[in-house]
Structure 1
């Protein structure tokens, strides 16, 4: 516990030191932090007038992102940039404390807190200048709240989904029966209430939907890796800054984008098939399923920005809080992919943009690790939850002398949490 505390303080101090020196060449020459300085600060000015950035092609975020980007205004005396970084560190601390608290329970592990503490700095200072840590905090706390209150889990997941959509996937592994009903009901009610409040307070809350359809193939995505290799082979495409990221433009790009969309649909189908075939839930299954779902959707997306690794690290850390997770090898692959991501951006980003052999091979390695992690994650989730039941103890941990949750008892909440989940007080 003490070593994790010291580790968190030391690594976050290092991240802040790197941020203070972000003007150096290997750290991106100031470009990494420019998004907060220029884009977030500009949106803050628009949001303070009571409207979302209507017509802004770069505004592609759900309505809940508005309060997050307005929150630095709660810290008077600091610049917008300073306040944003300070609140991001607070969100990071919330994730760490939640993982520590979960890891200290009987039958749990502190490996999750250790992974988050040690692996997040592999992205250098990038997590401090994006609001993905805040979105990840909602997902992490939602999953860890499941053992105490299914309604709180659903509500937090819905709040996170309004910030950056993907936290809604944390509910895909809810045990069948009452747990699923309560979690999803709480999520829907919370989403409706929050959307109603945001609609009353701000104009054009759904304008972001108009900006999503025009997205192309980002150079860091799986499809971008294929196009980068094609460029080395003579494909005449080029790279252009569009919708806030660098994308490929040229012949066949639309076909690659359509193929990625098809892969996303297949990923959704695989997850739904798993849901119908799953016969047993361990205490780790909701965590494992959330990581699998987000990994599959991330790998098949047209956009795969470096900060997306923050999401995956957070979910992998939640999995590692349980001694029954099947995702330990996946977590190792994600840590390796995170380290390579920093080499991709910002260290050798010019090579990636120019599709040099070094840049292409780097992207093949990084995205190859993510693709392998996604496939392995789904395979281990499938094997661990389908087929013949395995034992589970009366305290919610696996025990070879007792029966595991199965279809004969579809309300697996009581098998995992024998006293039943407690509702919020």
Structure 2
């Protein structure tokens, strides 16, 4: 634990140093942190009067984002920017502690905490000036509490979904039966209560829905990579700042956006098919399924902002807390994609925006890694939960889930009545 603590302190000190020098050219010349200085602070002013930023084209977030953006007001004596960074850093520490505590349990691993500690700084200081760490914290805690309290898992997933939607996907891998019913019921009740409270306290909590519908194809998305290459081949499209990001405008952009939405629908269908066909749950299956789901929805999205990698690193870290995970190679690919994302933004963002050959090749490399990671993640999840594979085959992803493995799995089985039949589909364990 001591090396992990020292590593966290050293890397976070480096991130703060980079933030203090964000005016330098390779660090974005102040543009990365400007979102908190200007945008978040402006929204704070509106939220403090009891109304969501109604009519603001840049407000595209669900109602739960409001309390997060208001939270810096809890730290008097600091500027809004300083308080936001302090609270984000504190949330980062909570995630690290949660992963470390999960990792020291019998049959678990500290690799997850190590991944989060070491991979997050690959995004430089970006995680400190976006509220994605807070959303990721909800998802991480939801997954880590599943084996102890399905209701707590559902509640944390609901809070995360109200903050940034995607944490709702953490429930897609819960074992079928009572576990899923309890988690989803808790999520629905929590979301309903919180939405009612936010609707009573603030005006226009659902205005964000109007702004989301107008989003186009961001230059960093898969569709944007295709259009960037087309631009090099003579396509007459242009790039313009819209809805808080750089998007392509021109012929066929709407078709690319529609194709992205169709692929997202296919990804949802594939996930539902997996859930129907899955026959074997290990303690890591909920973790693996959450990572797979968020990866698939990320690669098919019209928008892949650099902070999306915070989500993926957090979920990959949860997977690595369990030695039953099928996602170790996926986690390695995500670390590489995270490093390339920093080159995309902010280091070489001008090249990406101009669709130069360097910018296009960089996007092909980064998005290619994400595509391979998504395909590999889904394939390993499917094989690891298939009822037709040999559970004693050591080459099968997650094969060791069916072997006797100590008090962690035994404790999970006692707390979760769905797990024994899922982990041990052929009968109970023989005494060790």
TM-score, normalised on structure 1?
A: 0.94
The equivalent of 2:271 in structure 1 is: 271
SS in 1 for 2:239: strand
The equivalent of 2:419 in structure 1 is: 413
The equivalent of 1:281 in structure 2 is: 281
1:357 equivalent to 2:354? Answer: no
The equivalent of 1:196 in structure 2 is: 196
The equivalent of 1:217 in structure 2 is: 217
CA deviation after TM superposition for structure 1 residue 301, in Å: 0.2
The equivalent of 1:407 in structure 2 is: none
CA deviation after TM superposition for structure 1 residue 417, in Å: 9.6
CA deviation after TM superposition for structure 1 residue 75, in Å: 0.2
The equivalent of 1:100 in structure 2 is: 100
Residue pair 1:147, 1:417 contacting (<8 A) in 2 also: no
SS in 1 for 2:37: helix
Q: 1:288 to 1:221 in 2, by over 3 A?
A: same
The equivalent of 2:2 in structure 1 is: 2
The equivalent of 2:258 in structure 1 is: 258
Q: 1:314 to 1:377 in 2, by over 3 A?
A: same
* Partner Cα distance (1:323, 1:253) in 2: 44
SS in 1 for 2:151: helix
1:17-416 pair list within 5 angstroms: 17-388=17-388, 390=391, 398-400=401-403, 412-415=418-421
CA deviation after TM superposition for structure 1 residue 413, in Å: 3.3
Residues 5-45 of structure 1: CA distance to partner in whole angstroms, max 9, x if unpaired? Answer: 00000000000000000000000000000000000000000
Residue pair 2:401, 2:423 contacting (<8 A) in 1 also: no
* Partner Cα distance (1:198, 1:214) in 2: 25
Residue pair 2:62, 2:165 contacting (<8 A) in 1 also: yes
* Partner Cα distance (1:417, 1:33) in 2: 46
CA deviation after TM superposition for structure 1 residue 291, in Å: 0.1
Residues 215-254 of structure 1: CA distance to partner in whole angstroms, max 9, x if unpaired? Answer: 0000000000000000000000000000000000000000
Residue pair 2:116, 2:313 contacting (<8 A) in 1 also: yes
Q: Which runs of 4+ in 1 moved over 4 A?
A: 414-418
* Partner Cα distance (2:303, 2:348) in 1: 19
Residue pair 1:166, 1:294 contacting (<8 A) in 2 also: yes
Residue pair 1:136, 1:314 contacting (<8 A) in 2 also: yes
Residues 399-420 of structure 1: CA distance to partner in whole angstroms, max 9, x if unpaired? Answer: 4479x9xxxxx962345799xx
* Partner Cα distance (1:226, 1:319) in 2: 31
CA deviation after TM superposition for structure 1 residue 147, in Å: 1.1
Gap runs ≥5 in structure 1: 392-396, 405-409, 419-425
CA root-mean-square deviation: 1.7
* Partner Cα distance (2:154, 2:378) in 1: 23
* Partner Cα distance (1:141, 1:400) in 2: 27
* Partner Cα distance (2:266, 2:309) in 1: 22
CA deviation after TM superposition for structure 1 residue 311, in Å: 0.1
* Partner Cα distance (2:294, 2:260) in 1: 15
Paired residues in the alignment total 408
Residue pair 2:282, 2:423 contacting (<8 A) in 1 also: no
Gap runs ≥5 in structure 2: 393-399, 410-415, 425-432
Residue pair 1:127, 1:310 contacting (<8 A) in 2 also: yes
SS in 2 for 1:398: helix
Residues 243-275 of structure 1: CA distance to partner in whole angstroms, max 9, x if unpaired? Answer: 000000000000000000010000000000001
SS in 1 for 2:198: helix
* Partner Cα distance (1:67, 1:12) in 2: 25
* Partner Cα distance (2:321, 2:105) in 1: 9
CA deviation after TM superposition for structure 1 residue 386, in Å: 1.2
